[in-house]
Structure 1
């Protein structure tokens, strides 16, 4: 299933980490919304914080929303 959003946060793994993909590249595992914000900054969206992640329409949350960090 292709996403029309440039950022995809995948379902949590057994340790609670969620892969974060930006424009087709996996940036790493996030364990919180703060981690997702850090990945967004690495991708060039300087100044992004947790509230930007919460409000963003750029992010597709798979396997649960931004409040799901356990399997």
Structure 2
């Protein structure tokens, strides 16, 4: 796995999907951790080496790896 890659997972949208970017390129919209790992595999990473909560490879916006639903509190 390249330490130079930068992955950003954006906050959940209204349906709970999260946009995923790697090095500025949109990889897709993940509906859960399995989708995210598949996008990273297609980007050349080994899913067995990816730790979703390590904070080095993935920048989580709007909640970490356990958040896959929109924040509806206060709505």
Task: Check whether TM > 0.5.
Answer: yes
Contact 2:8 2:21 in 1 (8 A): yes
- Give secondary structure in 2 for the equivalent of 1:52: coil
Name the residue aligned to 2:69: 70
In the alignment, the residues of structure 2 paired with residue 23 and residue 12 of structure 1 have an alpha-carbon distance, to the nearest angstrom, of 20
| TM, length-normalised to structure 1 | 0.81
Structure 1 vs Structure 2 CA RMSD: 2.0
In the alignment, the residues of structure 2 paired with residue 53 and residue 36 of structure 1 have an alpha-carbon distance, to the nearest angstrom, of 9
Name the residue aligned to 1:18: 18
- Report the Cα offset of residue 56 of structure 1: 5.8
Gaps in structure 1 of 5+ consecutive residues: none
- Report the Cα offset of residue 57 of structure 1: 1.9
- Report the Cα offset of residue 44 of structure 1: 0.5
The structure where helix makes up a greater share of residues is 1
Equivalent pairs, count: 66
In the alignment, the residues of structure 1 paired with residue 7 and residue 33 of structure 2 have an alpha-carbon distance, to the nearest angstrom, of 13
Q: Which has the larger radius of gyration?
A: 2
